[in-house]
């Protein structure tokens, strides 16, 4: 047999709940590709600890970090994994049955921390709150990602970052991606995003799928599309939510290099709250190439929030209000579409009242001056 010749094996099989594939490498060595499940075996909650990973398969291979060809799964039952280093996987899942097929209700969390650089390279993307095992109630489980720093990038494919988005028509876990620092991206190069952000899906049952941007700490939340796809039927509340917490400096706008897409039915909601007194000017929430609708929706807006809708939030006992303003753009690659909170102009009546009050104040001041002379 010739040495140094590449030998390729392209088979896939399921072994006791773990997807196993074989990749070809130089010299005939075979590299195992598998679904590797986080079990927190060491108890330190660290992604980087090999003892925290086990594939639960017949191969008996455990205590090995998921590699570039593997699917990294933070499964069910309240698992918590903290990531603060560079890691590359073909797919990532948070909130999914464990490798041995068991499913435990609860919230499982991946914390992407400063120093992290998570690269998801496969076409299936990054799933948060995927399918729930038959028999679990809607809302019994949740997949959560909190990003306080570092980078999360989905580098290929059209599935992207999927929140409460499972296969077929099924009950899936609730989901939350919360970013207060670092970058979340659907590609490596600005202007060439390929992966979308999909919040919910039309065919699954769940309570809430939410993407939450907190203040100006995030460097970027940039994708090919931002798709609000609340389910059209099934059980549960089926809410897809874009949530912005505005601080003293405003909030980092999300970017859709192609389209900001609104689903035709269901609850595709905008949520705004405050962590400090907001800036006095207009606040941009989203910039995009264009605003579009899915499945013939009647308007390019959040559910129940047409152009000019009042948006209010309170902080420190003071209520602040804006009007919601949508600006569409053409499909030309220019980020000239947007969703903004616009400071309302005073009405004509209020302006007249203000002018009259000012004139009255000036007259009183002049009379006092004359009496004092």
**pLDDT confidence of residue 345:** 72
- In 275-355, DSSP assigns E strands to 283-293, 310-315, 318-327, 337-342
pLDDT tens-digit map of 109-139: 999 999 999 999 999 999 999 877 667 788 8
**pLDDT confidence of residue 20:** 40
**pLDDT confidence of residue 320:** 97
Is 21 among the domain residues?
A: no
Is 348 among the domain residues?
A: no
- Tell me which residue range forms the domain holding 234: 44-342
pLDDT tens-digit map of 236-294: 899 999 999 999 999 999 999 999 999 877 899 999 999 999 999 999 999 999 999 87
Q: Are 277 and 308 in contact (CB under 8 A)?
A: no
**pLDDT confidence of residue 265:** 75
pLDDT tens-digit map of 4-17: 223 232 333 322 23
Question: 107: which strand partners?
Answer: 142
Name the average pLDDT for the chain.
83
Give alpha helix (H) positions in the chain: 348-372
pLDDT tens-digit map of 19-28: 444 343 333 3
Is 3 among the domain residues?
A: no
Region 66-85: what's the mean pLDDT? 94
* pLDDT score of 353 more than 50: no
CA distances from 276 to 43, 63, 135, 314, 370 (A): 37, 45, 43, 9, 45
Is 7 among the domain residues?
A: no
Q: What percent of the chain has pLDDT over 70?
A: 79
Is 185 among the domain residues?
A: yes
Q: What percent of the chain has pLDDT over 90?
A: 61
Please compute, for residue 128, the number of CA atoms within 13 A of its CA located in the half-sphere on the CB side.
27
How many domains does the chain fold into? 1
pTM summary value: 0.84
**pLDDT confidence of residue 290:** 95
Question: 243: which strand partners?
Answer: 212, 271
**pLDDT confidence of residue 79:** 94
Q: Are 47 and 85 in contact (CB under 8 A)?
A: yes
Identify which has the larger pLDDT, 368 or 178.
178
Q: Quote the CA–CA distance of 322 and 302 in Å, as a whole number.
A: 15
What is the pLDDT confidence band of residue 298, given thresholds at 50, 70 and 90?
Answer: low
Q: Quote the CA–CA distance of 366 and 116 in Å, as a whole number.
A: 66
Point out the least confidently predicted range of 188-197, 289-298, 342-351, 356-365.
356-365
Is 350 among the domain residues?
A: no
* pLDDT score of 73 more than 50: yes
Region 342-351: what's the mean pLDDT? 64
Is 368 among the domain residues?
A: no
Q: Quote the CA–CA distance of 81 and 177 in Å, as a whole number.
A: 14
* pLDDT score of 39 more than 50: yes
**pLDDT confidence of residue 16:** 29
Among 25, 28, 97, 16, CA closest to 68 = 25
Is 167 among the domain residues?
A: yes
């Amino acid at each position: 047999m010739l040495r140094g010749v590449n030998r390729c094996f392209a088979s896939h099989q399921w072994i006791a709940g773990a997807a196993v594939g074989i990749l070809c490498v130089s010299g005939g060595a075979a590299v195992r590709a598998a679904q590797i499940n986080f079990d927190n075996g060491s108890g330190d909650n660290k992604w980087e600890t090999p003892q925290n990973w086990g594939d639960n398969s017949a191969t008996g291979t455990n205590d090995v970090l998921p590699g570039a060809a593997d699917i990294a799964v933070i499964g069910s039952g309240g698992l918590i994994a903290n990531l603060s280093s560079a890691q590359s996987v073909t797919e990532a899942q948070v909130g999914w049955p464990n490798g041995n097929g068991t499913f435990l209700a609860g919230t499982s969390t991946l914390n992407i921390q400063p120093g992290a650089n998570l690269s998801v390279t496969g076409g299936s993307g990054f799933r948060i709150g995927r399918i729930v095992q038959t028999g679990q109630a809607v809302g019994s489980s949740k997949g959560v990602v909190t990003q306080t720093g570092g980078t999360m990038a989905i580098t290929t494919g059209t599935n992207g970052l999927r929140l409460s988005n499972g296969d077929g028509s099924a009950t899936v876990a609730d989901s939350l991606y919360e970013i207060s620092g670092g970058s979340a991206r659907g590609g490596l190069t600005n202007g060439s995003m390929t992966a979308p952000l999909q919040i919910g899906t039309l065919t699954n049952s769940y309570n809430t799928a939410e993407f939450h941007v907190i203040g100006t700490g995030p460097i970027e939340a940039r994708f090919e599309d931002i798709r609000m796809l609340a389910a059209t039927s099934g059980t549960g509340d089926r809410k897809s939510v874009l949530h912005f917490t505005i601080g003293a400096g405003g909030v980092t706008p999300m970017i859709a290099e192609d389209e900001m897409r609104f689903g035709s039915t269901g609850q595709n909601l905008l949520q705004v709250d405050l962590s400090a007194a907001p800036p006095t000017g207009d606040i941009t929430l989203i910039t995009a190439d264009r605003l579009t609708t899915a499945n013939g929706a009647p308007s390019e807006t959040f559910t129940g929030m047409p152009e000019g809708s009042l948006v209010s939030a309170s902080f420190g006992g003071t209520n602040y209000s804006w009007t919601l303003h949508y600006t569409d753009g053409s499909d030309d690659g220019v980020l000239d579409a947007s969703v903004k909170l616009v400071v309302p102009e005073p009405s004509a009546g209020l302006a007249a009242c203000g002018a009259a009050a000012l004139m009255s104040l000036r007259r009183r001041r002049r009379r006092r001056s004359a009496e004092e002379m």
